[in-house]
Amino acid sequence: MMDWTDRHCRYFHRQLSGDARLYTEMVTTGTLLHGDVPRHLDFDAAEHPVALQLGGSDPAALAHCARLGEQWGYDEINLNCGCPSERVQNGAFGACLMAEPALVADCVKAMIDAVDIPVTVKHRIGLDRNEDYGFVRDFVGRVADSGCTVFIVHARNAWLKGLSPKENREIPPLRYELVAMLKHEFPALTFVVNGGLAAPAAIGDAFKRFDGVMIGRAAYHEPWLLAMLDGHGSSDRPGRSRATVVAAMADYIGRQASNGVALRSIVRHMLGLYHGQPAARTWRRMLSDSTLLRNADVSLLWRAMEAVEHPASQSNVRAESTSLKA
């Protein structure tokens, strides 16, 4: 989810769900050791509970970055051992770390010793064509020995060669049964399942089988899914609607504008809010139109909502958009 789940995306998602634990995009240790720390770690208090996901393979560097995460107020530090991209492999972290469980254990132990907040691990069920359950079982067992008790398991193998990151989310088969086997074999550990879960019914079933469910791109493209799942579908917030979410985001945009944040940086995460609703296409078009966004302020958000909530006004919006492009 690099370049996706930034602080503005997370604030938006928090308006949809009070229950979900939000995760940052993966931040590498090098970025924090040599880059702009406030830029990468600052966030709004409304995002809590929020976890900082780190990418790295040096125990000392990870311990330092975990301390930074704790100092900045994060609720959890998560080590990424699941990303299969070549860029991550070149840095010797991400999914390729699963081949070195002793190193991962050292990294986790260093972070646990450095902070008082939970340290968790996100990983795959295997590497390349190795579909042996023993591989992931031994990985989890070794890392658990270092003190980690929470594992977020993407239920696909990571093919390190020959597949793009997108293909790695689609081609290796989903094997939820291996995650269930881990849960059975390690009953004292917490297992959160990830991968291929997008339909509310399937997510509801997963909640019954596992300790939690992580949703990535499905929640990004159809964010109202988070509202539907709040409280695992057992509760609903009185008065919550897409319009109330827009109102909350309008206030946020106003505050961020005073800090020099461009409207585009925030509304790009909101394009799927009206997914499946009448006039959703108008919403997406208005909030992604470079001409409309060029000098726009928060009023564009209100106009887009008006076009969706009251479709009869769409013809006027369409004409306005055309005139602005001329």
Residue 285 is part of a domain; what is its CATH number? 1.20.120
Q: What is the pLDDT of residues 7-34, one digit of tens each?
A: 999 999 999 999 999 999 999 999 999 9
Q: pLDDT band at 85, cuts 50/70/90?
A: confident
Catalytically annotated residues: 83
Query: What domain count does the chain have?
Result: 2
Q: Report d(CA 49, CA 61) in Å as an integer.
A: 24
- Residue pair 160/89 in contact (Cβ under 8 Å)? The answer is yes
Q: Rounded mean pLDDT of 71-83?
A: 96
Residue 82 is part of a domain; what is its CATH number? 3.20.20.70
Question: Pairing relation of β-strands 212-214 and 190-194?
Answer: parallel
- Say yes or no: 172 and 248 in one domain: no
pLDDT at site 1: 63
Domain span including residue 289: 242-325
Tell me whether residue 285 is in a domain: yes
Residue 56 to residues 39, 52, 126, 179, Cα–Cα distance (Å): 19, 13, 19, 24
- Say yes or no: 174 and 307 in one domain: no
- Say yes or no: 213 and 254 in one domain: no
Residue whose token pair is 């499905």: 218
Tell me whether residue 179 is in a domain: yes
- Say yes or no: 262 and 151 in one domain: no
Tell me whether residue 274 is in a domain: yes
Q: Which amino acid is at 245?
A: V
Q: Which pTM was predicted?
A: 0.90
Tell me whether residue 119 is in a domain: yes
In DSSP terms, which residues pair with 78 in a beta bridge? Answer: 53, 120
Q: pLDDT band at 309, cuts 50/70/90?
A: confident
The continuous run of DSSP H or E covering 187 comes out as none
User: Above 80 in pLDDT, residue 298?
Assistant: yes
Q: Report d(CA 266, CA 225) in Å as an integer.
A: 19
Question: Pairing relation of β-strands 27-28 and 150-158?
Answer: unpaired
pLDDT at site 219: 94
Q: What is the pLDDT of residues 148-186, one digit of tens each?
A: 999 999 999 999 887 888 888 888 899 999 999 999 999
Output DSSP code: residue 150: E
